[in-house]
């Protein structure tokens, strides 16, 4: 009888530790979107349950996307995929043949009007964040500035309101800049229905 109690106790202890160690539900999925259609339909390919540094999706050297699962790595060259998810954010790839145009992976920040992106820029002494936009998910990615907005949109009221917003945000923190990104899309939706 005592042996049965010991076996039941051991099963309960080890059984619960197994359940805690291997959760049945994944909270963060990472992977790649092969096309804009798979992105719009939220269909990840080569997806993994992102848990820690052993299982992750990240941008490696030379804009190569790496899906790491333990010791195994799957690598995607630039242009082979439309976008990737690291489990928290989605990054779209873009490159043109034009000189001085943006290229690489851009973090999708807002899709409620214009598609607005950000991209980190690193130099020897400091880093900064650039903001970009496209008119559609497949559109050209352009620097988010007044000149480009004036070129792309005939609605002068929209451009004037964005210009006023930008002026009020000069020398503000990145957190406040992100609030303004959402405000730009609110202005866009108000004037471009």
Q: Indicate whether 151 belongs to any domain.
A: no
In terms of Cα–Cα distance, which of 93, 85, 168, 188 is closest to 138?
A: 93
Number of neighbouring beta carbons within 10 Å of residue 177: 14
Tell whether 185 is covered by a domain: no
Contact 31, 48 (CB under 8 A): yes
Task: Tell whether 70 is covered by a domain.
Answer: yes
Give me the number of domains the chain comprises: 1
Q: Which two tokens stand for residue 179?
A: 């609030």
Residue 36: which domain range? 26-88
| Residue 145 maps to a domain | no
Residue 171 lies in a domain: no
The string of pLDDT tens digits covering residues 41-99 is: 999 999 999 987 889 999 999 999 999 998 899 999 998 999 999 999 999 999 876 66
Where does the pLDDT of residue 190 fall: very low under 50, low under 70, confident under 90, or very high at 90 and above?
confident
User: Which pLDDT band holds residue 175 (cuts at 50, 70, 90)?
Assistant: low
Tell whether 113 is covered by a domain.
no
40 in a domain, yes or no? Answer: yes
Angle at 176 between CA 171 and CA 177, to 5 degrees: 75
Residue 79 lies inside a defined structural domain of this protein = yes
Report in angstroms the alpha-carbon separations of 45 from 41, 49, 67, 79, 84: 12, 12, 11, 15, 9
Report how far apart, in Å, the C-alpha atoms of 124 and of each of 9, 84, 121, 127, 128 are.
59, 27, 10, 8, 12
């Amino acid at each position: 009888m005592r042996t049965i109690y010991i076996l039941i106790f051991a099963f309960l202890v080890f059984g619960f530790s197994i359940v805690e160690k291997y959760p049945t539900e994944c909270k963060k999925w990472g992977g790649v979107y092969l096309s804009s259609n798979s992105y719009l339909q939220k269909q990840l390919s080569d997806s993994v349950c992102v848990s820690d540094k052993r299982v992750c999706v990240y941008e490696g050297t030379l804009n190569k996307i790496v899906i790491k699962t333990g010791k195994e790595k799957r690598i995607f060259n630039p242009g082979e995929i439309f976008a990737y998810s690291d489990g928290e954010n989605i990054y779209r790839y873009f490159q043109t043949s034009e000189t001085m145009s943006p290229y690489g992976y851009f973090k999708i920040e807002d899709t409620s009007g214009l598609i607005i992106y950000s991209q980190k820029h690193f130099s020897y002494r400091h880093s900064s964040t650039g903001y970009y936009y496209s008119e559609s998910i497949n559109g050209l990615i352009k620097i988010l500035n007044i000149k480009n907005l004036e070129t792309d949109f005939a609605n002068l009221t929209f451009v004037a309101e964005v210009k006023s917003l930008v002026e009020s945000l000069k020398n503000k923190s990145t957190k406040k800049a992100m609030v303004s990104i959402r405000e730009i899309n609110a202005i866009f939706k108000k004037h471009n229905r």
